[in-house]
Amino acid sequence: MITKLLIANRGEIACRIMRTAKSMGIASVAVYSDADAKALHTRTADEAVHIGPSPAAESYLVGDKIIAAAKETGAEAIHPGYGFLSENADFARAVIEAGLIWVGPKPESIEAMGLKDAAKERMIAAGVPVTPGYLGEDQSLERLSAEAEKIGYPVLIKAVAGGGGKGMRKVDDPADFAASLESCQREAKASFSNDEVLLEKWITSPRHIEVQVFGDAHGNVVHLFERDCSLQRRHQKVIEEAPAPGMDEATREEICGAAVRAAKAVDYEGAGTIEFIADASEGLRADRIFFMEMNTRLQVEHPVTELVTGFYLVQEQIMISSGIPFSFSQEDVKQKGHAIELRICAEDPQTFVPSPGKIRRCRIPQGPFIRVDGYAYPGYEVPIHYDPMISKLIVWGNDRSECIRRLERALTEFMLTGVKTNIILHRNILGQKKFLDGTYTTQFVDKHLGPNKEDFFMFVEDDVFLITAAIEAYNDSKSRDVSNYALASRWKDQARNDSVRS
């Protein structure tokens, strides 16, 4: 078993992995940039190594520095978390060649699923249903335009090396195809150094359903059921839940079986996610769910799977990378209850513009079946250099209705000042009929809750909390003479402007 683990990441996922390592008796090593010198993951690790300036390209994305930190501290293994180098096959190979344990899939599996066109071809061969489209080598405008006409508009142009919503364009009108293609290729080239694209039929009522899979080094592959990740804005996930609303057993059996076939097709080891797009125009149906891509890493939303199955995914990752076979079979994996995860981000809740700055006060919800994975604390300076997600609120209930009620209560307790957050966006979503009915699609947030949408409404603020935050903000200023309530009220107004909250 591993005795010392380096986490090649930051923020809440680094903290989450460290907690699991500690519970397993494994020492943890953090790496940090200039911006993260006082971050929670840096402060709570057994050891921490500085790896460079704040920009990720000069720190968290420099594999040589991370491997050097592992050797310097005597760490035997590297866990990449998600993002950064987690799906970089060259880095995984370099870790292994350095004589270290890579807590993740084999480099060959990462490469097999790294390009969307090659992955789709492999899935077709494995009998996994894929979205109708074009993934040929001819990338000329003439050929792509002709293929789009065959598919039928609207179509989706997608970068073959894409991810995170980059390099994707929906095209409704043939007259817009050339300009959209050029824009997509330009963004793909800048983001992934690869401007090749594929075309897919645009699903008009799309649901984003994914299946958690695990493989060990002994040829065993299991699934841990599905998650619904359809609540997105600009192709970025906002809320995830398990199980997927409206999923019947026949459809569940089909999609989970397809996910296992997909993982076996690339000889997969470790934690991975098979992502599907579902045409939900007539509800979820087994014959209308298509493979999109595979994420060869841990997902942000993995806690909802943990809460409904009782299996702790990071612990399983570490055990698998140590060569230990599964201690359970597919028949042992059961679902109980319902879990929902909200991504709490330091951003404007209507424009989605990041809101870096100093967190002045922080109130975290508590109670039975409520979990918060995060790294925010009073006085922490949220940097501008990285993803704005600062916490995840995960709640479990015996059924979806109980889970939502518990989530609503938890959100009324969750407050941050000093930065704007999307907490109020989540409260808006939870009040929408389509969310309550479980009939939302991937277009729901952008259509109903974007900038200046009529469905977006504000909430009464917690004056006691804000006044306390205002006094603290005032005490940080040049003068410390807080002599009357009126003065505190003026600073309260500033605190309100600093942070949109529930």
Who's near 74: CB < 8 A, 6+ residues apart? 4
- Ramachandran assignment for 81, one of left (phi > 0), alpha (psi -120 to 50 degrees), beta (any other): left
Q: Indicate if 297 belongs to the active site.
A: yes
- pLDDT, residue 392, reads 98
In whole angstroms, what is the distance from residue 158 CA to residue 142 CA?
A: 17
What's the CA gap between 127 and 134, in Å, rounded? 18
Q: Which of 169, 207, 297, 427 is catalytic?
A: 297
CATH number of 132-201: 3.30.1490.20
State the Cα–Cα distance between residues 498 and 142, nearest whole angstrom: 51
Pick the CATH number of 344-502 from 3.40.50.970, 3.30.470.20, 3.40.50.1820, 3.20.20.10: 3.30.470.20
Q: What is the pLDDT along the chain (502 residues), one digit of tens a residue?
A: 899 999 999 999 999 999 999 999 999 999 999 999 999 999 999 999 999 999 999 999 999 999 999 999 999 999 999 999 999 999 999 999 999 999 999 999 999 998 777 888 899 999 999 988 998 899 999 999 999 999 999 999 999 887 667 889 999 999 999 999 999 999 999 888 899 999 999 998 999 999 999 999 999 999 999 999 999 988 889 999 999 999 999 999 999 999 999 999 999 999 999 999 999 998 999 999 999 889 999 999 999 999 999 999 999 999 999 999 888 899 999 999 999 999 999 998 878 899 999 999 899 999 999 999 999 999 999 999 999 999 999 999 999 999 999 999 999 999 998 999 999 899 989 989 999 999 999 999 888 876 556 666 666 556 556 666 666 666 666 544 444 445 445 545 555 555 444 3
**Omega before residue 325 within 30° of 0, cis:** no
Nearest by Cα to 160 from 130, 200, 124? 200
CB 225 within 8 A of CB 333: yes
Q: Is 82 exposed, middle or buried (0-12, 13-18, 19+ CB in 10 A)?
A: middle
Find out whether 321 and 102 touch, Cβ atoms under 8 Å. Answer: yes
> 204-336: CATH homologous superfamily?
ATP-grasp fold, B domain (3.30.470.20)
Residues of the chain with CATH 3.40.50.20: 4-103
69 closest CA partner among 88, 95, 41, 96: 95
What are the residues whose beta carbons fall under 8 Å from the beta carbon of 18, sequence distance 6 or more?
Answer: 7, 28, 30, 41, 44, 45
Question: CA 469, CA 415: separation in Å to the nearest integer?
Answer: 11
Q: Is 500 left (phi over 0), alpha (psi -120 to 50) or beta?
A: beta
d(CA 136, CA 382): 43
User: CA torsion 334→340→346→348, rounded to 10°?
Assistant: 150
Domain at 4-103, CATH class = alpha beta
**CATH 3.30.470.20 segments of the chain:** 204-336, 344-502
| Closest by Cα among 404, 248, 221 to 316 | 221
Query: Which pLDDT score is estimated for 233?
Result: 87
The answer for residues whose C-beta is within 8 angstroms of residue 175's C-beta and 6 or more apart is none
Residues 288, 474: Cα–Cα separation, whole Å: 57
Which pLDDT belongs to residue 448? 80
Report, in angstroms and rounded to the nearest whole number, the Rg of the chain calculated over CA atoms.
23
**266: its two tokens:** 């690339």
Q: Residue 54 has which token pair? A: 């704040």
The pLDDT assigned to 116 comes to 77
Intervals of CATH 3.30.1490.20 along the chain:
132-201
d(CA 261, CA 275): 13
* Upstream peptide bond of 154 is cis (omega within 30 degrees of 0): yes
**Contact, 477 vs 456, CB < 8 A?**
no
| Distance of alpha carbon 219 from alpha carbon 28, whole angstroms | 29
For 106-130, b where at least 16 C-beta lie within 10 A, e where not — what string?
bbebbbbbbbbbebbebbeeeebbb
